A and B are shown apart, each in its own frame.
Chain A
């Protein structure tokens, strides 16, 4: 019964999305903005409640293990811990698309209820566009990915969940990532509404800014969680693999990063209008392209739940309608938007343009690297894979320049900056960078590139701290505080990347119990390899003791054998110390008592994720900037 209610709620939600699209059009023809809003706002709210209800129904089916629902039978099992019964609801194709649409509907609700913007007609267009996007994805769910399909007769037991996905990280990674991906839909709708109503104005820039920042913060946190999950669950010791699916989340992130910087220029100075609109369209388009790449089976990855060309085609058609439609609208209207104010190169605006150029270049590199293998195969049938050497060679110089310049950006004034004054204020950051690099080299850091990396991280970190702790800190706006925090987070991440890339050591030893080995400052000993039973798996656990400075810690990397479905996973164990991580993986045995033990020493690697979360926090702080002005605008609109 409850699954049927969920299914029914989805149909009703789709109907309300249709009301948003058509009803908005009818009322706008009658030139009655207020009547349109009286219709559309409740429709958007109702749509969100119904869709959330449908998602709740699916969660309920998973919680009680209702195997008469095909999706539950295929992806759950009574013996699974409760947490993984819940997360099982979105650890599959249909359920995760339902989560996707639910997040979309909730953003639609937020946009209907809270968004400000230039005029009533603009708001109608905004809610209408959100409804149009939702409508396509409801159609996709109901026609080709119905999560509520029944199974008759119901099996007594389910088929279980992919063991790789039975991990607490997976409970939060998809929802956060979707909040980021789908959050860009609001930005997209802002852009479409602005193009339709010819309202690309500074007021539009101020209105869209918090939406971009909020989605960006979620996306940042989601990517960081995904990276951390890959780091400890997949057992390769790396934190980023340039996997197409990772790139699919990185591309909208890069576009969104460029976007909120250019939105700043539009809001403050009325410049970069076309460019900002294009980025707003691109950020969500790339999110949808990412969803398409992952879900169509176009590329292989752990995320490709259901390889089904028909679904891929359906998604591609949706993509064609939304992205193609928005880009056609852009091509028609962009030439009619006046380009806005001109400015000098040495200014805040100029620096933000450079920021945008570099970010776009990075985006281009990632886009080509991700799609080149697909394109080559489509044209010549040849199969290649593009690996880290391509990305590292192409991106490192760009990232270096970006990090050096972004330290100075917040110190520049709008219109025309005095470089000499900025240089004087940045002197302490320069000294910090030099000292930090020197200390790192004294501590044994090797390599010019690594030393440069540490210096650049120090430069950016110190420059960002100067803003928060400097003499002008008291009068700091929320926006400037958020910027400083986010930039500081990037510096922390950069330090983690430089130190771990330069200082990482990887060793694999075939060890019999009792044998010892060395890595970095650790004396490693395989004490024993023993079987043990977990809640829904059996495992072989290696007991590895790591001795250092007179201490000894026990690590227990495992190989887990799951029965439902049959699969072996490696569970790493990580010793986290302030100076770095010791990462241990238990590999294959040779049947004669020896086990492959792989060890990684990774100095300061944890800073990568800590920095990412700091940056996301900075985005949240900046999103609240201008809140008073927006509240006043809402009151005025209501009055």
Chain B
């Protein structure tokens, strides 16, 4: 019996492949891959702070009842410089913006903040990009909208552009 199964198994596996392939041929492969985490609670994480003056960022900070933004950035990333004024505008309009510095070093981040402004309530350091992977992010910068219960509601891939600011504020307002 087992012998007969072993002989037929390759054929069965191949038929399964053919069925999947026929269905797959109809799909459009150029759609960008969004994070599967949208709609999910934030994964558990706890990141060290930038320096002694900064408390760091943990998943529990995102479940305090307020709607927050989490911005993944790097001091080495040029588009992050481009989006800095938009983050300042969001913070000035009352949004709580947290940041995670991806694959970065304390001194570089401090210099970056001194030059491009520091709108962030909390800054976590993610030197190996672990949190980045758990959030389903593919690059830097990316920004996540998280509701008061710590559920990820939206993701922006790439820099926040001036025209996005109103939309983000409206969505935060609606969730509050």
Nearest CB of chain B from residue A312's CB, rounded to whole Å: 5
Select from chain A the residue with minimum beta-carbon distance to B81: A590
Q: Is A409 an interface residue (CB 8 A)?
A: no
Select from chain B the residue with minimum beta-carbon distance to A589: B78
Residues on A with C-beta less than 8 A from B24 are 298, 374, 377-378
Proximity string of chain B (91-111) to chain A, C-beta cutoff 8 Å, 1 when within and 0 when not: 000000000000100000000
With A300-B30, A309-B26 known to touch, is A375 a contact of B10 (CB < 8 Å)? no
Pair B20/A374 contact, Cβ less than 8 Å: yes
Pair B20/A371 contact, Cβ less than 8 Å: yes
Pair B29/A298 contact, Cβ less than 8 Å: yes
Stretch at the interface among A81-89, A322-330, A480-488: A322-330
Pair B8/A331 contact, Cβ less than 8 Å: yes
Those of A306-324 within 8 Å (CB) of chain B: 307, 309, 312-313, 316, 319-320, 323-324
Pair A331/B7 contact, Cβ less than 8 Å: yes
Pair B14/A378 contact, Cβ less than 8 Å: no
A316: contacting residue among B8, B11, B21, B77, CB under 8 A: B21
Those of B10-29 within 8 Å (CB) of chain A: 10-11, 14-15, 17-27, 29
Those of A594-622 within 8 Å (CB) of chain B: 594, 596
Pair B11/A331 contact, Cβ less than 8 Å: yes
Residues on A with C-beta less than 8 A from B11 are 324, 327-328, 330-331
Residues on A with C-beta less than 8 A from B74 are 508
Pair B78/A278 contact, Cβ less than 8 Å: no
The CA-CA distance from A323 to B21 in the complex, in Å, is 14
Pair A297/B25 contact, Cβ less than 8 Å: yes
Residues on A with C-beta less than 8 A from B30 are 300
Pair A587/B14 contact, Cβ less than 8 Å: no
Pair B21/A334 contact, Cβ less than 8 Å: no
Nearest CB of chain A from residue B85's CB, rounded to whole Å: 14
Nearest CB of chain A from residue B11's CB, rounded to whole Å: 4
With A316-B22, A327-B11 known to touch, is A510 a contact of B36 (CB < 8 Å)? no
Pair A316/B18 contact, Cβ less than 8 Å: yes
The size class of the interface chain B forms with chain A is 20 to 34
Nearest CB of chain B from residue A401's CB, rounded to whole Å: 23
Those of A546-590 within 8 Å (CB) of chain B: 587-590
The CA-CA distance from A509 to B17 in the complex, in Å, is 46
In the complex, how many residue pairs between chain A and chain B have their CB atoms under 8 Å apart?
Answer: 94
With A335-B3, A385-B33 known to touch, is A510 a contact of B14 (CB < 8 Å)? no
B10: contacting residue among A282, A309, A377, A508, CB under 8 A: A282
Pair B7/A297 contact, Cβ less than 8 Å: no
Those of A459-511 within 8 Å (CB) of chain B: 506-510
Nearest CB of chain B from residue A290's CB, rounded to whole Å: 12
With A289-B17, A292-B21 known to touch, is A389 a contact of B133 (CB < 8 Å)? yes
Nearest CB of chain B from residue A229's CB, rounded to whole Å: 22
Residues on B with C-beta less than 8 A from A355 are none
Pair A383/B31 contact, Cβ less than 8 Å: yes
Most chain B beta-carbon contacts within 10 A, residue among A274, A327, A588: A327
Nearest CB of chain B from residue A584's CB, rounded to whole Å: 14
Pair A384/B33 contact, Cβ less than 8 Å: yes
Q: Is A78 an interface residue (CB 8 A)?
A: no
The CA-CA distance from A310 to B134 in the complex, in Å, is 38
Q: Is B156 an interface residue (CB 8 A)?
A: no
Residues on A with C-beta less than 8 A from B77 are 508, 596
Pair B7/A323 contact, Cβ less than 8 Å: no
Nearest CB of chain A from residue B86's CB, rounded to whole Å: 16
The CA-CA distance from A384 to B25 in the complex, in Å, is 17
Pair A382/B36 contact, Cβ less than 8 Å: yes
Nearest CB of chain B from residue A404's CB, rounded to whole Å: 28
The CA-CA distance from A281 to B10 in the complex, in Å, is 10
Q: Is A299 an interface residue (CB 8 A)?
A: yes
The CA-CA distance from A579 to B5 in the complex, in Å, is 52
Select from chain B the residue with minimum beta-carbon distance to A378: B23
Those of B63-91 within 8 Å (CB) of chain A: 74, 76-79, 81-82
With A274-B7, A509-B76 known to touch, is A307 a contact of B29 (CB < 8 Å)? yes
Residues on B with C-beta less than 8 A from A285 are 14
Residues on A with C-beta less than 8 A from B79 are 588
The CA-CA distance from A30 to B20 in the complex, in Å, is 43
What are the nearest 9 A-B pairs in CB distance?
A378-B23, A508-B76, A300-B29, A327-B11, A334-B7, A374-B24, A309-B25, A375-B20, A312-B25
**A-binding residues in B (CB < 8 A):** 3-4, 7-8, 10-11, 14-15, 17-27, 29-31, 33-34, 36, 74, 76-79, 81-82, 103, 133
Name 29 A/B residue pairs within 8 A (Cβ), A-sorted. A274-B7, A281-B10, A282-B10, A285-B14, A297-B25, A298-B21, A298-B24, A312-B21, A316-B22, A327-B14, A331-B8, A331-B10, A335-B4, A335-B7, A371-B17, A374-B20, A374-B24, A377-B27, A378-B20, A378-B24, A383-B34, A506-B103, A507-B76, A508-B74, A508-B77, A510-B76, A590-B82, A596-B77, A596-B78
Q: A307-B29, A383-B31, A590-B81 are in contact. List 18 more A-B contacts (CB 8 A).
A: A278-B10, A296-B25, A297-B25, A298-B25, A298-B29, A300-B30, A312-B21, A316-B22, A327-B11, A331-B7, A331-B8, A335-B3, A371-B20, A375-B20, A378-B23, A508-B74, A588-B78, A589-B78
